[in-house]
Structure 1
């Protein structure tokens, strides 16, 4: 199968945003025929029906809507990358190495980089998006100048600054039986296999810690699936794949649009810190200090 291009992803996102092939074509500055041909080619390539076509027009299928959500995430990453590249100046040797946990990398870092790139002396930013445990390991090893983590436990041996608090929420698709519940007990959550991030994820650790603290259980049941990105967890839950825990920030739009439903877990909210971390043995470079200043001010 040929790789999907960024232009194709932008095109299907435009169809979802504007509600029709014609609207997408107008927004992209191409012909309606060009959009229609490209979308039919995608359907053939993927062996997947993306649209329903009728005399009243063309609309996305459920699968098409899901693919458009995934594509929007990838287009957002590409735009964040373009912003980072725009920060290059004549001194190409100047760069800042930043590691960020995935929720922070997806939902906060792009805005920080746009602000940072506006500085006349901005250096090139090398961003690595991994889970919180790996971010701390990279900072300790000197691979990154500055890290951002979302774990309930701040890493040992590193200087840290908490700049925000974030809530982890339990979410399901609207058709899931739990969507009709007013709440669920921590014990029920503990024995339910969840769609989850991998071990080392701050989101997963926050949920497990909260449930174990309330129930007194030593551990929760093994996940139904372990996925490496927030976007993959969201998409799987929306497709009816089960129950999962995600940052409230990451699912805010999905909750507002009704694509996901939040399920209250009996007990206190599951809150964890968002923190910047760095090696106190090494002086923060000016670029890293500026990004930390921006993160603390605009988050």
Structure 2
């Protein structure tokens, strides 16, 4: 049986209020209902989430950890709902936007919510792919506007930097690197990492920085190539290795201690996040408005 968002909200409410009773009051349900659902979660997951004492019920260490993950899932779900609401706004005009996964997951939802409030906003068609694919789609005319995270200037396209991001090296708390004060570029380059596919801006940023410091061919092949940031993050959380990910994608995990950042001793891994478009084609009013919002001028 799949865990519902309602159950995750209950778990988060228990942590926030410090008791089952407080959670029930916040959610407008009975204390018995919260208690039954939380016991069901414990049985389903095979984990002890709560410590029940004469003074009440508090979360165990596992419970605190799972509640943090649950809060992140709820936040992503709410962002998803808002973005979908913006996408399905019925308008006569259409604007096609392509975005790399980091931008699509962490920035575009906010931009689209703001854009949807624009009078006579166009219907948005969003495609999330890697940076190389975004550039191809804009060149081919399949997208009116694109957002990429590559360190290279896109050939033949107009570009505007709208934000900056940092690629960070992360491991699970139990990994041997978690106790280190830093990792040298040479050791990082010869360590097989969990990685996105070729064409990913995150992967390209790391490889270019290491090759600039150590020379061409210095970076070994990845330990595994996974198609999404979420898949890599989940594998690292499970103790499956080392990864280079966007700081935006793992910010909450780092703050909560679910992941540990390993500083890189040497090259900078900061990269621009840029809007791109074909200068041969005039941007539509809808694409121009989204660009203004992304650049902070909206």
TM bin (shorter chain): 0.7 to 0.9
- For the Cα contact (< 8 Å) 1:212–1:218, is it kept in 2? yes
The Cα of 1:51 is off from its aligned counterpart by 1.9
> In the TM superposition, what are the counterparts of 1:131-280 in structure 2 within 5 Å?
131-280=130-279
Shift of 1:197: 2.3
Cα distance, 1:145 vs structure 2: 2.0
Q: Please give the per-residue CA displacement for 1:73-109, whole angstroms capped at 9, x wherever unaligned.
A: 5433432343345447985333322221121122212
TM-score (norm 2): 0.83
- Cα deviation for residue 269 of structure 1 reads 1.3
Q: Deviations over 1:108-152 (max 9, x none)?
A: 122212222222222332322222122223323333221111011
After superposition, the Cα gap between the structure-2 partners of 1:278 and 1:235, relative to the gap in structure 1 and judged at 3 Å, is same
| Distance of 2:134 and 2:15 partners within structure 1 | 35
The residue number in structure 1 matching 2:49 is: 51
Give the match for residue 119 of structure 2.
Answer: 120
2: CA distance, partners of 1:264 / 1:13: 31
Q: CA 1:124–1:248 in 2, change beyond 3 Å: closer, same or farther?
A: same
CA distance in 1, matches of 2:84, 2:174: 42
Post-superposition shift, 1:172?
Answer: 2.1
- Give the deviation of 1:57 after TM superposition: 1.6
Quote the RMSD (CA, aligned, Å): 3.1
What's 1:291 paired with? Answer: 290
**In 2, are the aligned partners of 1:88 and 1:123 still within 8 Å (CA)?**
no
- For structure 1, the residue ranges without an aligned partner over 5 or more in a row are none
Structure 2 gap ranges (5+)? none
TM-score in terms of structure 1 length: 0.83
What is aligned with 2:65? 65
Separation in 2 of the partners of 1:176 and 1:10?
Answer: 30
Q: Distance in 2 between matches of 1:5 and 1:66?
A: 14
Separation in 2, partners of 1:32, 1:298: 48
For the 8 Å contact 2:183–2:264, the answer to whether it is kept is yes
Q: Which residue of 2 aligns with 1:34?
A: 33
Three-state SS of the structure 2 residue aligned to 1:174 is: coil
Q: Distance in 2 between the 1:267 and 1:97 partners?
A: 39
Q: Is 2:164–2:271's contact at 8 Å kept on the other side of the alignment?
A: yes
Change (3 A) 1:103 1:68: same
SS at match of 1:161: strand
Matched residue SS, 1:169: strand
Count of residues in Structure 1 that have an aligned counterpart in Structure 2: 296
CA 1:67/1:248 → structure 2, altered by over 3 Å: closer, same or farther? same
Mapped contact 1:49–1:64 kept (Cα < 8 A) = no
> Does 1:78 pair with 2:87?
no
Of 108-117 and 14-23, the range deviating more from structure 2: 14-23
Question: Does the C-alpha gap of structure 1 residues 98 and 61 become closer, same or farther in structure 2, counting only changes over 3 Å?
Answer: farther
- Which whole-Å CA distance do the structure 2 matches of 1:175 and 1:150 have between them? 30
CA contact (8 A) 1:196 1:233 kept: yes
